[in-house]
Amino acid sequence: MAENEFPKLSRKEFKVLELLIAKGEMFGLEMVESSEGELKRGTIYVTLQRMGDKGYIESREEPRPLPEVGIPRRKYCATGLGERVFQTNLKALEFFNSDFALGGI
């Protein structure tokens, strides 16, 4: 992203950050379940990987409690950058949905 480029979020990225900021650390499938149909099982991990590459989220491995077996699951959280990008996008949405943006002022 160029230095002065506005950091736009996709709908999925916006929803992921909204959930993580509101609820704290979450597993990918928890986000799917909490998203009221906005996030899908088949795309959540691609979205999370892309957001991690951008620096908007971080993850850590969560070991499975015994006697469960399998690979460790990952818990995700928003970074400071992710929170700032979310707030910036939220303010832009509020502005463009306001009376001012609609020509009311």
Residues 100, 50 contacting (CB under 8 angstroms)? no
Domain-embedded: residue 21: yes
Q: How many domains does the chain have?
A: 1
Residue 6 lies in a domain: no
Establish if 102 belongs to a structural domain. Answer: no
How much is the pLDDT for 105?
46
Residue 104 lies in a domain: no
Q: Within its chain, how far is the Cα of 86 from the centroid?
A: 8
Least confident of 32-36, 85-89, 95-99, 101-105: 101-105
> Is the predicted pLDDT of residue 18 greater than 70, yes or no?
yes
CATH code at position 88: 1.10.10.10
Question: How do 26-27 and 73-78 pair as beta strands?
Answer: antiparallel
Other Cβ atoms less than 10 A from the Cβ of 18: the count is 19
44 is a domain residue: yes
- Joined tokens for residue 67: 């006697």
Query: Given this model, what pLDDT does residue 52 score?
Result: 98
For residue 1, being part of any structural domain is answered with no
Domain around 19: 11-96
Section 65-85 average pLDDT:
90
In this structure, is residue 55 part of a structural domain?
yes
Domain annotation covers residue 2: no
What is the per-residue pLDDT for 96?
A: 80
Give 61: exposed, middle or buried? Use CB within 10 Å, 0-12, 13-18, 19+: exposed
Average pLDDT of the segment spanning 61-82? 89
